């Protein structure tokens, strides 16, 4: 994997436009990655993912895929690309965040993490080396190092102890990665993850530590996990002052349309979040003019397109009144339409951000868009 930085904003922000080159195709940045946790983007067909949403890369999760269908099945299929049919780039989260979420049924040590499956309660163990082996078998183009994700409200002592553990695990991840080769006929890259909670000194320490490995790209983790939004932005600024400019920067698990626009302005290139599909399944639509609750009666006789920008085929086919009806009737199609729309909107938004970065007016455009997309319609 390589990264070509093409443009930086000339209007007062650190926004960047580039291209990530992988063996499964190029990714234009800034980019949003739909989340395909268990090998599928929930409720979305491959054709819709590629044609309507125009996804350039999707994300899978090591923890979930390890538990089901299991790594041996994925290996027999020839990797996740062949298993699910998506022939464009993929990224795998290491499972660190999921392990963090299992508080009460996990046990951390220097060796790794013992946990119980949320599916059947069976006991399992993740070590840094084991996670690299699992990600090799899944076969994503971009792999994440195994880390601990502390809560956003963690005190300094806990955050410092957690960071030391994450750095020790990273050294072992990088060693295992360098000792092994891809199982399939294409290359893989490993991104270290910057941690440090909301403490500037720890974030700087982590950013300096991870850059010594000369990785193909870097991730910023442990944000949008309970801390105030302004602290998230502050930590991104601190980290991006240190991370190299010639490598992509991936802010994990973020976030709202406003979060994307604000963090693009701070030099972030890659994002993922379950919000477009999760909120869509609950009748919340993100549009270019604000947020819509499709269950509200005001949409009952509104025969306008879902979004006037027409960011996906579904926006041109269906009206707000029809989608309101489907949600009231509890039709599964409602969740599917809303998910496709929200994902297409996110991809449209980062595409527009890229265009305005190249044109040199990102600052003015993103300020207008933040005001628009923040409205409740």
* Active site (catalytic) residues: 93, 272
Pairing type for strands 284-287 and 290-293 reads antiparallel
Would you say 28 and 35 are in contact if contact means Cβ atoms under 8 Å apart?
Answer: no
263: helix, strand or coil: helix
For the residues of 294-340, what is the DSSP string, one character each? TTSGGGTT--SBS-TT--SHHHHH-BHHHHHHHHHTT-HHHHHHHHH
Looking at the DSSP assignment, which residues form a beta bridge with residue 5? 18
User: How many angstroms separate the CA atoms of 110 and 194, rounded?
Assistant: 18
Burial of 109 (0-12, 13-18, 19+ CB in 10 A): exposed
Quick one: CA dihedral 216, 89, 141, 259, positive or negative? Answer: positive
Angle between helices 332-359 and 257-265 (to 10 degrees): 20
User: How many angstroms separate the CA atoms of 232 and 213, rounded?
Assistant: 25
User: How many angstroms separate the CA atoms of 4 and 150, rounded?
Assistant: 32
User: How many angstroms separate the CA atoms of 182 and 184, rounded?
Assistant: 6
């Amino acid at each position: 994997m390589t990264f070509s930085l093409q443009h930086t904003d000339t209007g007062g922000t650190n926004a960047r436009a580039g291209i990530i080159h992988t063996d499964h195709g190029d990714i234009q940045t800034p980019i949003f990655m739909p989340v395909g946790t268990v090998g599928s983007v929930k409720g979305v067909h491959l054709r819709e993912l590629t044609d309507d949403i125009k996804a350039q890369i999707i994300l899978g999760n090591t923890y979930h895929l390890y538990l089901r269908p299991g790594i041996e099945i994925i290996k027999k299929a020839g990797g996740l690309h062949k298993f699910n049919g998506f022939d464009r780039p993929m990224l795998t989260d290491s499972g660190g965040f999921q392990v963090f979420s299992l508080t009460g049924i996990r046990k951390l040590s220097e060796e790794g993490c013992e946990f119980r499956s949320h599916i059947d309660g069976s006991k399992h163990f993740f070590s840094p080396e084991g996670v690299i082996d699992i990600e090799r078998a899944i076969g994503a183009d971009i792999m994440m190092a195994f880390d601990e994700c502390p809560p956003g409200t963690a005190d300094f002592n806990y955050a410092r102890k957690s960071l030391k553990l994450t750095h020790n695990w990273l050294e072992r991840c990088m060693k295992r990665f360098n000792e092994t080769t891809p199982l399939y006929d294409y290359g893989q890259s490993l991104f270290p993850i910057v941690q440090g909670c909301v403490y500037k000194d720890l974030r700087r320490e982590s950013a300096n530590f991870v850059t010594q490995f000369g990785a193909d790209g870097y991730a910023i983790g442990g944000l949008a996990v309970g801390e105030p939004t302004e602290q998230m932005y502050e930590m991104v600024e601190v980290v991006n002052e240190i991370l190299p400019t010639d490598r992509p920067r991936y802010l994990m698990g973020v976030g709202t349309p406003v979060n994307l626009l604000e963090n693009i302005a701070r030099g972030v290139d890659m994002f993922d979040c379950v919000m477009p599909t999760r909120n869509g399944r609950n009748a919340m639509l993100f549009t270019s003019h604000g947020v819509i609750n499709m269950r509200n009666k005001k949409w009952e006789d509104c025969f306008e397109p879902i979004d006037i920008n027409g960011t996906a085929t579904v926006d041109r086919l269906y009206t707000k009144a029809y989608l309101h009806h489907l949600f009231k009737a509890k039709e599964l199609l409602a969740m599917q339409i809303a998910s496709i729309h929200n994902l297409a909107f996110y991809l449209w938004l980062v595409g527009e951000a890229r265009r305005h970065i190249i044109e040199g007016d990102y600052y003015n455009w993103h300020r207008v868009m933040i005001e628009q997309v923040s409205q409740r319609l």
